[in-house]
Amino acid sequence: MTATRIDGKAFAATVRAKVATHVSHLKETHDLTPGLAVVLVGEDPASQVYVRSKGKQTVEVGMHSVEHKLDADTPEADLLALVETLNQDPAIHGILVQLPLPDHVNADKVINAIDPAKDVDGFHISNVGLLGTGQKSMVPCTPLGCLMMLRDHHGSLSGLNAVVLGRSNIVGKPMAQLLLGDSCTVTIAHSRTKDLPEVVRGADIVVAAVGRPQMVPGDWIKPGATVIDVGINRIEKPEGGTRLVGDCDFDSCAEVAGAITPVPGGVGPMTIACLLANTLTACCRAHGLPEPEGLTA
Ligand code: GUN
């Protein structure tokens, strides 16, 4: 391996430490505690794991954490009523409704019912529009974490060619907007892109977010490029059992890249750290206080 390994786990710990310092300062100077409410509908096992982890880390940085666990058959109207109660609650600065929601609930309707100022996922249509027009917004956590790691590694991203693989609303599209905001030349590539290997070979920065295990081989990577792997895919091991892999083939990409995030331990830990950062930012904005430096886009 020749690439520098970008340690997302360690980076996330430094982000949480910064958040914790700000939170204790807010308490001392303004008697203010940022609050995050997480809403989980149903019993999807992966979602339960995420929500538990979010709650634990929220408390660890000194924030107020509230969890609402609702039955899978909760009517949409009840969910909308809960969101409205949280919108009005002055102790809550961030609201996250865990996705996916059950089929009988219109997820867009629920997300767009969240007060955009409390939308720490950055999924509300107002925040999407603000990000797309380069205005101050709440930024989705996974792309924000990727941006922080890229800025930390490169300093300035200005003028670099960035290829984002994947066009999802949660990662691909906001990632492209953030890279454009940092003056990269941005290409969004996807399943219909012609000559994908050649497109990726032109990239100084590759962000892979397609959800296809080990899809990107090392010979697609420009020597010295930075590879940010958002994928988390579980595959069978030849000897039995399973393991987690990214969207990039780590070993061959690491032979060519200048820097690469591992899976696990790369982008994943940054997502919750950025959720905490967003909750702190939302709290500061709600009270007209200066935003924490280095924790926003
Ligand atoms: N489910 C999986 N990831 C996420 C996320 O980042 N936000 C929400 N709300 N739900 C998710």
Name the residue among 141, 113, 135 with its Cα closest to residue 125.
Answer: 113
Confidence of residue 109 (pLDDT cuts 50, 70, 90): very high
Range of the domain at 155: 141-269
- By CB atoms closer than 10 A (0-12, 13-18, 19+), residue 20 is middle
- The reply to whether the predicted model has a pTM over 0.95 is yes
**How many domains would you assign to the chain?**
2
Is residue 155 in a domain?
A: yes
Q: How far apart are CA 224 and CA 160, in angstroms?
A: 12
Mean pLDDT of 287-297: 96
Counting ligand 1 atoms within 8 A of each CB, the residue from 40, 170, 276 with the most, and so the one to mutate, is: 170
Same domain, yes or no, for 258 and 151?
yes
Chain centre distance of CA 31? 29
Question: What are the two backbone dihedrals, phi and then psi, of residue 51, each rounded to the nearest 5 degrees?
Answer: -65, -40
Q: How far is the CA of 209 from the centre of ligand 1 (A)?
A: 14
Q: Both 219 and 104 in a single domain? A: no
Does the beta carbon of 98 sit less than 6 angstroms from any atom of ligand 1? yes
Q: Catalytic residue, from 57, 98, 177, 214: name it.
A: 98
Q: Is 136 annotated in the active site? A: no
Among 118, 150, 174, the domain boundary falls at: 118
Q: Are 139 and 55 in contact (CB under 8 A)?
A: no
Ligand 1 neighbour 38 (Cβ under 6 A): no
Residue 97 Cα: closest atom of ligand 1: 9
| Residue 98 alpha carbon to ligand 1 centre in Å | 5
Residue type, 184: C
In a domain, 243, yes or no: yes
- Average pLDDT of the residues in 149-174: 98
**DSSP secondary-structure letter at 207?**
E
The minimum-distance atom of ligand 1 relative to the CA of 170 is: 6
Whether 134 is covered by a domain: the verdict is: no
Same-domain pairing of 85 and 145: no
Q: Is residue 15 part of a domain?
A: no
> What pLDDT is attached to residue 1?
66
Model confidence at 84, pLDDT cuts 50, 70, 90, reads very high
Predicted pLDDT of residue 126:
98
CATH code of 260's domain: 3.40.50.720
> What is the spatial order of strands in the sheet that 161-165 belongs to?
4-5, 259-260, 226-229, 205-208, 161-165, 185-189
What amino acid occupies position 116? P
Q: At what angle do helices 45-60 and 8-30 cross, to 10 degrees?
A: 50
- Which of 38, 51, 79, 99 for a ligand 1 pocket mutation test, highest count of atoms within 8 Å of Cβ? 99
Beta strands per DSSP E along 219-295: 226-229, 233-236, 242-245, 259-260
Residue 89 has pLDDT above 80, yes or no: yes
Does 44 lie in the same domain as 97? yes
Using DSSP's 3-state secondary structure scheme, residue 45 falls into: helix
CATH code, 68:
3.40.50.10860
Is the model's pLDDT at 289 over the cut of 70? Answer: yes
Residue 294 covered by a domain = no
54 belongs to the catalytic site: yes
Query: Would 296 be classed as within a structural domain?
Result: no
169 and 72, same domain (yes or no): no
- Whole-number percent of the chain with pLDDT over 70: 100
Based on the domain organization, do 76 and 166 belong to the same domain? no
Distance CA 3, CA 24 (A): 37
Mean pLDDT of the chain: 97
Is residue 44 annotated as a catalytic residue, yes or no? no
Pocket probe for ligand 1: among 36, 50, 119, the residue whose CB has the most ligand atoms within 8 Å is: 50
| Helix ranges restricted to H, the chain | 8-30, 45-60, 76-88, 107-111, 125-132, 141-154, 172-181, 196-201, 250-256, 267-286
Q: How far is CA 254 from the centre of its chain?
A: 23
Q: Is residue 159 part of a domain?
A: yes
247 lines ligand 1 (CB under 6 A): no
